[in-house]
Structure 1
């Protein structure tokens, strides 16, 4: 099942996507649902509610938003692809290298990434497979981790490299507004046979810049969930972005940075596609 968060006729709703049709869940009480998808995941009712027979509308009439609006955590894993390690020349981590993005970085699968002029000269892309947690996970084993995965989505871990590496830690360089396009929907775990064998790619203005496979992950999804859950509880709707393969702008020769007017597409096989324009503004 593909689960989205949409805006339609002024309301933000959870919806099931099936081909070119979306089937939204309209709440009984007319109200704004801040994070309808996360709430349904947390209640354990997402599959039942979104699988119900409800009137559909053409996908073209709805705006796809980030499938999650307010997860408690967006945990990202750095240096988690062997080919990315090779291109950067950095040392392979002995344990997952984690950092966080906050909810204000989330933006939709077609939204413009707006960057204030003068804040960065080294704007970079990172194609990533993201995991959505479905059940509370606290100190779980790698083998148990699969039972805590709700589904998968696509992320672009947009990064301001000059800010990232001029600070002692990565928080500022990873947390500009709209630095985490997410979507276009969540594909439930039962529809992804092997998340460690998916093609993953990125294009800038139509030119392929990343072309790899999740087989290149150093720390697998189960191992990563287990590691993170030792130190912090993972809650339904939390997101883990599992790292990026080679081909980022920082690792190219010569280096390539995003600029005003560029369009970045990030795609994961069987999951979906992000297409985000870049705007540098005053």
Structure 2
């Protein structure tokens, strides 16, 4: 299933996409009372999942349901989790080719090995959805960059999980653009500030539930800036895969339901070009991952 958070004049609500890929059904129209995506992830039952799957496959819905449906083309789409309950957990330099371009940019020697993952967190007050504008923060940022990333949504509390059981804890997948201020990132010798400015977490357009994607995911991932292909890879190229990451992190911390883990970005980010190709107001960035969709944002 593809789950969206939609906004109307009064509120934000969760909706599920019909198999026609054109029509959204608010879950409230199907009798579900989960107020937002965080609550749905935490509390939805297997029976409710089964009911949603059945509903999205129907050619004809009951009148009281169909009258509440929304055309996807008309919907105001928010980030699927507008306000994550915790900071996003991110992996740095988790594709080998990106490790090489990062070392080049920083004029460092690259040894060709990654023995352990690099983890950091990305603060988010409000994730922004597809078609929303990304603030350039031009008063403090002179080297704005993009990073298309597959993100994993944890579906139930995970603590001390075996690697072979890791995918049992995955609710689904979404896309984030790990927007980064490279000058701040370099100046502060760490990544938290330069990746956590307001509006630096575009997410979406939806969550594709884990039953729709084979584990481990082998999905095409790319990004475009003003139509120019920049990143073009596959999630099969991850150095440390999802099962490894969930297993390792859960040995010492509880990954709560709704936790977002961003798995890192492939080569082709702005800093990887010579000279670098930074983002500027008016630029349109598209991050695309197979079976999830396109996350599209304009820099302002």
Same fold (TM over 0.5): yes
1:172-187 aligned at under 5 Å gives the runs 172-187=193-208
The Cα shift of 1:215 comes to 1.6
The Cα shift of 1:27 comes to 8.1
Q: How many residues were matched structurally?
A: 276
Corresponding residue number in structure 2 for 1:8? 8
Cα RMSD over matched residues? 2.1
**The one of 2, 15, 21 aligned to 2:23:** 21
Corresponding residue number in structure 1 for 2:251? 230
> Does the residue aligned with 1:225 lie in a helix, a strand or coil?
helix
1:20-39 aligned at under 5 Å gives the runs 20-26=22-28, 33=35, 36-39=36-39
User: Residues of 1 paired with 2:272 and 2:37: CA distance?
Assistant: 36
After superposition, the C-alpha distances for 1:84-104 in whole angstroms (9 at most, x for unaligned) are: 122223454322111111232
The Cα shift of 1:117 comes to 2.5
Which range moved further: 190-199 or 269-278?
190-199
User: Residues of 1 paired with 2:52 and 2:14: CA distance?
Assistant: 8
Corresponding residue number in structure 2 for 1:68? 81
Structure 2, unpaired ranges of 5+: 56-60, 104-109
Does the CA-based 8 Å contact 1:125-1:249 persist in structure 2? yes
User: Residues of 2 paired with 1:185 and 1:260: CA distance?
Assistant: 25
User: Residues of 2 paired with 1:171 and 1:231: CA distance?
Assistant: 21
Corresponding residue number in structure 2 for 1:102? 123
Corresponding residue number in structure 2 for 1:41? 41
Does the CA-based 8 Å contact 1:72-1:235 persist in structure 2? no
Structure with more of its chain in strand, by fraction: 1
Corresponding residue number in structure 2 for 1:208? 229
User: Residues of 1 paired with 2:180 and 2:252: CA distance?
Assistant: 25
Does the CA-based 8 Å contact 1:196-1:220 persist in structure 2? no
After superposition, the C-alpha distances for 1:34-86 in whole angstroms (9 at most, x for unaligned) are: xx111011013362564456332211232110000222331010010012122
User: Residues of 1 paired with 2:83 and 2:259: CA distance?
Assistant: 9
The Cα shift of 1:150 comes to 0.4
User: Residues of 1 paired with 2:131 and 2:197: CA distance?
Assistant: 17
Corresponding residue number in structure 2 for 1:147? 168
User: Residues of 2 paired with 1:245 and 1:96: CA distance?
Assistant: 15
- The 1:218/1:246 distance shift into structure 2, 3 A limit, reads same
User: Residues of 2 paired with 1:184 and 1:142: CA distance?
Assistant: 29
User: Residues of 2 paired with 1:42 and 1:84: CA distance?
Assistant: 34
- The 1:37/1:133 distance shift into structure 2, 3 A limit, reads same
Does the CA-based 8 Å contact 1:67-1:185 persist in structure 2? yes
Structure 1 residue 87 corresponds to structure 2 residue 101: yes
1:105-116 aligned at under 5 Å gives the runs 106-116=127-137
Structure 1, unpaired ranges of 5+: none
Corresponding residue number in structure 2 for 1:274? 295
